[in-house]
A and B are shown apart, each in its own frame.
Chain A
Amino acid sequence: MEHNEHSKKMKLELRRGVLVLAVLAELREEHYGYSLRKNLASKGLDIDEGTLYPLIRRLEKQGLLESEWREEGSRKKRFYQLSAVGKSTLRQVSEDWHEVETALNTILK
């Protein structure tokens, strides 16, 4: 396997790992699928729909998100937002993330 193949694979795994945290953080504000994807992409995290939409459904099933179907511009859209459980989970996971980030920065120095 080429060097860049390795780094590509690792980058994907890395993004997959932080994706949940990014989605939870972004859904502190209400979004529907496409607007969430656009927001994440504008902040540097470009995720394809095939990954993002099933993920937000799973998070909803786990009780971390709440959703509501609404009609907007003659089109049905499903809007997602953090639930109460999701908010406390986000707080905890954010703290964990900062710990990991600090530890990793120390290791990478």
Chain B
Amino acid sequence: MKLIEHYLDSLETYLPDEMKQDVRDELTASLMGQVEDSQEELGRELTSDEIEALLKKLGHPMQVASAYQPNQHLVGSDYFPAYRKALEIALALTVVITIVLSVFTAISGRSVIGVGINIFADILHNGLYVFALVTLIFYLMESYNADLSKVYAWSPKDLRFNSKRLGLSRLETGFELIASVLFLAWWNNIIPSLTYGLISSETAKVSLSADWQSVYWSVNIIIALGIAIGIYKFVLATWDRFSLVSEIILSLATLVIIAQILQFDQFISLNAPLDENMFLVKVIAHFDKVIYSILAIVAAVSAWDIFSNTRKLRV
């Protein structure tokens, strides 16, 4: 019977104090009942091997103890869909915030590889904390039977933005976000290697003209709002009425600013002695063409965005 004692001793170690004696008494009654029945049937005492087989049939003490305890999971099936969505949103938010903060700190002149490794390590580090926190919150919610009816409240009308036609790729949105952040940094002269001075030498300097100052704040506002909406889209990974309407308004504002830029007297200003003029005039003409091309591309993209987002709103 020592085997049974050892089994029960081991099982007790996996149980909370308040259950130990109860479970031990219950299993003792059951095991001894089985031993007595078998001995009566066989007309002899059970061998050590037979008792061992009986205990093996019952299962590993850890598994048996575990079956006695409620909540054998961190997040159950009722809460799991909401948990997965919450985790997805929280991790997406963590990725965006970590990257955006890292881009600004990266401007301090570190190598691209160093910044990349740093961003990856930060995402992993912050992501693990967020994962643990969200899991803990849902574990507590389930332990206290938190009401999820509001989370699962839905209407078939709301599902139209989840249709395949309105798919939104996080990768694409992520690239758009990084491009916007880099542009904003360049526009505000934060990136030291990309200053307004396009060409400069000891005697000559070619830079953006003073006219650009008139659109400085409006460009800043549009790009910043674009980044905010981009983060919103990246986190939700789906379109909704708010993001579509906001993007249409921003595209319209972009077209207005492009129209304003086209009114500039000059895009590039030249500050150079006469003997360098002929060469630089050609350079400026070249830059003018580049700027016109960029403006045309941005205008085309904005017009297409207005068209496609308006169509999406009608889905």
Contact surface of A with B, Cβ cutoff 8 Å = 32-35, 37-38, 48-51, 53-54, 57-58, 69, 75-78
Contact = CB atoms under 8 A, between A and B. Distances in A.
B26 interface: yes
Interface in B16-69: 22-23, 25-30, 32-34, 37, 57-59, 63-64, 67-68
B34 to A, nearest CB: 7
A72 to B, nearest CB: 8
Contacts of A58: 70
A48 B26 contact: no
Given A76-B25, A78-B25, A53 B30 contact: yes
B20 to A, nearest CB: 14
A75 B32 contact: yes
A48 B68 contact: no
Contact of A48 (B23, B33, B57): B57
Contacts of B70: 58
A75 B24 CA distance: 12
Give the top 6 A-B pairs by smallest Cβ distance, nearest first: A34-B33, A34-B30, A54-B67, A76-B25, A50-B59, A77-B29
A38 B30 CA distance: 10
A75 B28 CA distance: 8
A48 B59 CA distance: 9
A89 B155 CA distance: 34
A32 B33 CA distance: 11
Interface of B: 22-23, 25-30, 32-34, 37, 57-59, 63-64, 67-68, 70
A50 B63 contact: yes
Contact of B67 (A32, A35, A51, A78): A51
A75 B31 CA distance: 11
A30 B28 CA distance: 19
Given A48-B58, A50-B59, A34 B29 contact: yes
Contacts of A49: 27, 30, 58, 64
B64 A50 contact: yes
Contacts of B25: 69, 76-78
Given A50-B63, A54-B67, A57-B68, A32 B58 contact: no
A53 B68 contact: yes
A95 B64 CA distance: 33
A57 B37 CA distance: 24
Contacts of B34: 34
22 contacts: A34-B34, A35-B33, A48-B58, A48-B59, A49-B58, A49-B64, A50-B63, A50-B64, A50-B67, A53-B26, A53-B27, A53-B30, A53-B67, A53-B68, A54-B68, A57-B68, A69-B25, A75-B32, A76-B29, A77-B29, A78-B26, A78-B29
A49 B33 CA distance: 12
Given A50-B63, A54-B68, 16 more contacts: A32-B29, A35-B33, A37-B30, A38-B37, A48-B58, A48-B59, A49-B64, A53-B27, A53-B67, A53-B68, A57-B68, A75-B29, A77-B25, A77-B26, A78-B22, A78-B25
A37 B33 CA distance: 11
A49 B57 CA distance: 9
Contacts of B57: 48
